[in-house]
Amino acid sequence: MTRNLLTIAVAASLLASCGTQKENDKVNIQKQTVQLESDQMTPEALWAMSRIAGYQASPDGKHIIFQMGYYSVEENRSHQVLWMMNADGTEQKQLTTEADNETDAQWLDNETIAFLRGGEIWKMSLDGSARKQLSETEGKVEGFLFSPDRKKAIILKSIPFNEIIQKNPEDLPKATGRVITDLMYRHWDHYVESIQHPFVLNLASGEEFDILEGMPFECPMEPFGGIEQLAWSTDSKKIAYTCRMKMGLEYSISTDSDIYLYDLEAEEGTVDKNRNLCKEGVDLPKSDPTKTMSTQAINAIGKETGNDYNVGYDINPKFSPDGRYVAWLSMERDGYESDRNRLCIYDLKENTKTYVTESFDSSVDDFCWAPDSYTLYYIGVWHATENLYRTNLKGEVTQLTNDWADFGSLQMLNGKHILAERHSFTAPADLYTVTPGDSIADTKVTQITQVNQEILDQLGKPSVEQYWVKTTDGKEMLTWIILPPHFDKNKKYPTLLFCEGGPQSPVSQFWSYRWNFFIMASQGYVVVAPNRRGLPGFGQEWLEEISGDWTGQCMKDYLSAIDFAADSLSYVDKDRMGAVGASFGGFSVYYLAGHHDKRFKCFIAHDGAFNLEAMYTETEENWFSNWEYDDAYWNGDQTERAKRTYENSPHRFVDNWDTPILCIHGEKDYRINATQGMSAFNAARMRGIEAELLIFPDENHWVLKPQNGILWQRTYFAWLDKWLKPDKSEE
């Protein structure tokens, strides 16, 4: 593989040294200054890019505080810093000057910013001066949210959790064994020996209390939940929070979380103190908080009374500006983690629920209230892009943008504009303001940051095309084609089929620091990225055709896409094609390895499922395998869907494998265990097939450490170049 070198011979050294200095024996990693020798994107250039994290507009809408992450390959870590700018993007200034991470910024008032540093809440003025520590928790604050009256704050802290992993005897302090009594003893990438709880901190007195005192339930919910799962009422008297009041086996098989309303002024033990807004009217157990009613029982009550009790995944409450309504994201069915996210509105005055995005046949991914408490703005995926929409309390939906891009989280700015992050296949995240109009044509989108422009200006930019490909069952499938910089239609290019994960995640205009189409195209590859069966943004029917049929129509869709490219696009070299993917995409690669009929010359599978029988009991979130596989492999009276699933597991077709394969896996991946990748690699080598295994003992389902990320990219492209560029003619 050919890599562009930076002007200093050792790229990693340059990336780490630019903008870094020693302060109090800590490395103060700052924005990277990069000079490339050519316009080809490299792994080093990708990891030199700055990354926007959180952002928030001031109450008066005049300023924006935002968080940036700078990465050092040499130090193998990042530095999180805070920046300030005017609402129009002018006068950008970095406020962080020291080596400590400063994160989670939010406004106390128009002149004062609060933030996290060293596990404590601090405040500072607009110019970064007058810093003062506000909390004293021995560095235990993991997230926070001020009440509107600025007298209190929710703070997130971890507490010990020994309900499932038993605490070892005190006379064995060096024992490393764990006695486990139930499921969900580990989640995502760690053993569950602590959980987060929300505490209310009185800023004047420093006193705090746990709103889930004595309850063995987490809030926010693992593995990715944060402060967005809680919200203050406008009068600062109530807190809406997200919780799944289950543990052990019950937790592992259910996605049924709820939105609770905690009243700070109600008496302890009263119904109004801790209302479940999702199951209002259900007589839930009150005497023992560890006892919960089964989903089946709640469903039965709902059928008898004709009520909707929200037994699916409910998250991220937000109060309307006037305080009358609480909105949240709501899934309908228990156990289905990829169900459609509906925007639910609870009327606290009338005690009623309505859904206001029913005409949008896809999921809502984020939303915000307009000042009128009647209008809401949201983002959702449709036809492989994540655009902005408007709805209201009547459920009247209007699309406002139609870009080949993805908008990220959004919030109101100044009451008139929307502040949002936006990215695409060819552009990393930047901040934008959106001025909503009556329609797409009337809506104005303005970029206000260009955090990586100095790197992007040095790079040749890939181009993106869109095709609708006919599938084997006569339907149309949107397929992205990403072309290399300086594309020449008269040349033949090696080509990659990209297999999406999920299995129900969109191939929308994402930007990734690993599965990055910009760098793939820059290395001389055409990328074919189909929105195969099972992906959102094409209606619920298209989305759900994959459940229980992982190896059916969706695999035919993959082959339809690559066959279209090989037969219809003259620049695709059908003799130099590979297939790559992660998670369900890795599973897809393992399956295609036994069913591709000589189409591909090499494969790469990252964190993919290989043996579905093993996967059924290995994964920690058992609701996933229960829903997708339909039944346990040991049941003698399996459904036809379950039989089909297990009979078509990739490991059963290794005898058909005939093509080189690279298997990649993280040993801290508890969603799809590393034994899956090891088994696939071992099977390939035992079959005499050329194979490599890239194993990361310290990574989870993703690769997060800078040096591991560079190793991942180098190994990935070295493998592709070996099999798809044997004569190195593209270098």
DSSP class of 629: H
Which pLDDT value is given to residue 2? 34
Residue 471 lies in a domain: yes
Is residue 317 a part of any domain in this protein?
no
Return the SS3 of 23: strand
If you count DSSP H runs as helices and E runs as strands, how many of each does the chain have, helices first?
Answer: 14, 40
Q: Looking at the domain assignment, is residue 540 inside a domain?
A: yes
Number of domains in the chain: 1
Q: Give the Cα separation of 648 and 476 in Å (integer).
A: 26
Q: How does 254-267 read in b/e, with b if 16+ C-beta sit within 10 Å?
A: bbbbbbbbbbbebe
- Token look-up 């298209």 returns 542
With respect to residue 665, please indicate whether it lies within any of the assigned structural domains: yes
C-alpha pair distances (Å), 540 with each of 341, 362, 533, 615: 11, 7, 11, 26
| 236 assigned to some structural domain | no
CA dist., res. 257 & res. 240, Å (int): 13
Token duo for residue 726: 């044997």
314-319 vs 325-330, strand pairing mode: antiparallel
In sequence order, which residues have a C-beta less than 8 Å from that of residue 201 and are 6 or more positions away? 135, 144, 152, 153, 154, 155, 207, 208
Has residue 698 been placed in a domain?
A: yes
State residue 625's pLDDT score. 93
User: How many alpha carbons lie under 13 Å from residue 443 in its C-beta half-sphere?
Assistant: 21
Would you state the pLDDT for residue 26? Answer: 78
Q: Does residue 99 fall inside a structural domain?
A: no
Distance of alpha carbon 687 from its chain centroid, rounded?
Answer: 36
Q: Which residues of the chain have pLDDT under 50?
A: 1-24, 287, 289-290, 729-731
Domain span at 572: 460-724
CATH code at position 598: 3.40.50.1820
> Tell me, what's the pLDDT at 306?
61
Task: Give per-residue pLDDT as tens, 471-487.
Answer: 999 999 999 999 999 99
Give the pLDDT confidence score for residue 304 in this predicted structure: 66
To which H or E segment does residue 722 belong? helix 706-724
Residue 23 confidence (pLDDT): 41
DSSP assignment of 101-124 equals --EEEEEEETTEEEEEETTEEEEE
How does pLDDT run across 628-682, given as a tens digit for each residue?
Answer: 998 999 998 899 999 999 999 999 999 999 999 999 999 999 999 999 999 999 9
Active-site residue list: 583, 669, 701
Do the domain assignments include residue 620? yes
